[in-house]
Amino acid sequence: MNRTFLLQQVLNGLAIGSVYAIFALGYTLIFSVLRIINFTHGAIFTIGAYATYALTGSQFGINGLLAGAALPFRLPFVLALLGGSIVAALAGVIVERLAFRPLRARGADPLLTLVSSLGVAVALVNITQYLFGAEPYSYPDPLQGLPSAVNFGTAAAPVLVRTVQVVIFGVSMVMLVLLTYLMNATRTGKALRAVAEDMTTSSLLGIDTDRLVLLTFVISGFLGGVTGTLIGLSVGVAGPYFGIAFGLKGLAVIVLGGLGDIPGAVVGGLIIGLAEAFVPAQYIAYREAVPFALLFVVLLVRPQGLLGRAQVQKV
């Protein structure tokens, strides 16, 4: 394995890993506050990708109920990305109201909440499929005019990384910085961390926990929407189910990093991205199994995740 190849794979791995990381942060934020895994995250990813597609003014295919439909205006890609992610954030709000709040009000078993969110996820993905069909879509190329790849090596030993990869890495980093700022340097972030630490106590201290839970879903939905669009930009929108598949991969990331652990989600995302990038070419067909194999092994060996602390079982 020479150095150029190594650098090439590291860069590819970091680019995809950064997207895994911000996607997984959506799971992690909700888990840290509510101690539940929000299975709708993958469906929200799908909704974000489709909303962005619609906002670019592109036309839908022939299989759905809205066959051939298109919005009467076209937004530039950056605005469409923002708008699509806002739509995803709104979807997150609806999900919280419909699937999580009623169960929280009843103090239901977390396992039941997991199942309920799975139900909502399946419904959302299939509604998307019903409306827009199952065909793959790709965005009108927003990077026109730019070279298709950036050379990180020398002219003699080129290390070419697709421009798209550079863009998605950049956007992911921006999201990560914004989120870090929000969590660590603002009053809202402090309140969020307090709610994650202990919901009852923070509500006694005058924090409006319901509002903050809603905010968590907004941020998480926004992150899901951004990821949906970024992945759609990189490999195309492969039908509504691509969110479910991606959502399951995201589970591997959060378990690897430790459930509810924010730095852990970032580390987990990067590790899974790199692990996928380093699958040897002859076993490339098995790449899709890598995150799940890691998930399985980590659960058996270190269920608290790489950075997590073991939970003490209280009696």
Partner 1 sequence: MASFLATYDFLLVAVLALTLYLPLMAGQLSVASPGFYALGGYIAAIMSTKIFPPGPGLYPVSLVLLEMAVAAVVSGVLGLAVGVPALRLRGIFLALATIAFVQILGVVALNLDVTGGAIGIFGIPQPFSSAIQYMWLAVPLLVVSMLFVARLERTRTGRALVALREDELAAAAMGINPTYHKVLAFTTSAMLAGAVGAVSAHFINTWNSRQGTFDTSVNLMAFVLVGGSRTFVGPVVGGLVLTALPEALRGIAGVDVLPAWLAAFLRDGRLIIFGILIAIGTVFFPHGLITPGLLRRLGRRGARPG
Binding residues (CB under 8 A) for partner 1: these are 36-37, 98-99, 102-103, 106, 108-127, 130, 244, 248, 251-252, 255, 259, 285-286, 288-289, 292-293, 295-296, 299-300, 303, 315
Look up residue 10 and give its two tokens. Answer: 């590291």
If the CB atoms of residues 189 and 308 are measured against partner 1, the closer one turns out to be 308
Cβ closer to partner 1: 60 or 169? 60
- Nearer of residues 36 and 277 to partner 1, judged by Cβ: 36
* Least gap, CB of 199 to partner 1 (angstroms): 18
> Least distance from C-beta 282 to partner 1, angstroms?
11
Shortest Cβ 67–partner 1 spacing (Å): 13
Least CB distance to partner 1 at residue 130 (A) = 5
Per-residue DSSP letters for the chain? --HHHHHHHHHHHHHHHHHHHHHHHHHHHHHHHHSS--TTHHHHHHHHHHHHHHHTTPPP-SSSTTTT---SS---HHHHHHHHHHHHHHHHHHHIIIIIHHHHHTT--HHHHHHHHHHHHHHHHHHHHHHH-S--B----TTTTS-SEEE-S-SSS--EEEHHHHHHHHHHHHHHHHHHHHHHHSHHHHHHHHHHH-HHHHHHTT--HHHHHHHHHHHHHHHHHHHHHHHHHHH-B--TTHHHHHHHHHHHHHHHH-TT-HHHHHHHHHHHHHHHHTS-GGGGGGGGGHHHHHHHHHHHH-TT-SSPPPPP---
C-beta of 19: minimal distance to partner 1 in Å?
A: 19
Smaller CB distance to partner 1: residue 106 or 187? Answer: 106
Q: Minimum CB separation from partner 1 for residue 24, in Å? A: 13
34 vs 167, which CB is nearer to partner 1? 34
For partner 1, give the closer residue by CB, 237 or 298.
298
* Minimum CB distance to partner 1 smaller for 33 or for 233: 33
The distance of closest approach from Cβ of residue 38 to partner 1 in the complex, given in angstroms and rounded to an integer, is 11
Determine how many CB atoms are found less than 10 A away from the CB of residue 253: 30
Burial class (CB in 10 A: 0-12, 13-18, 19+), 18: buried
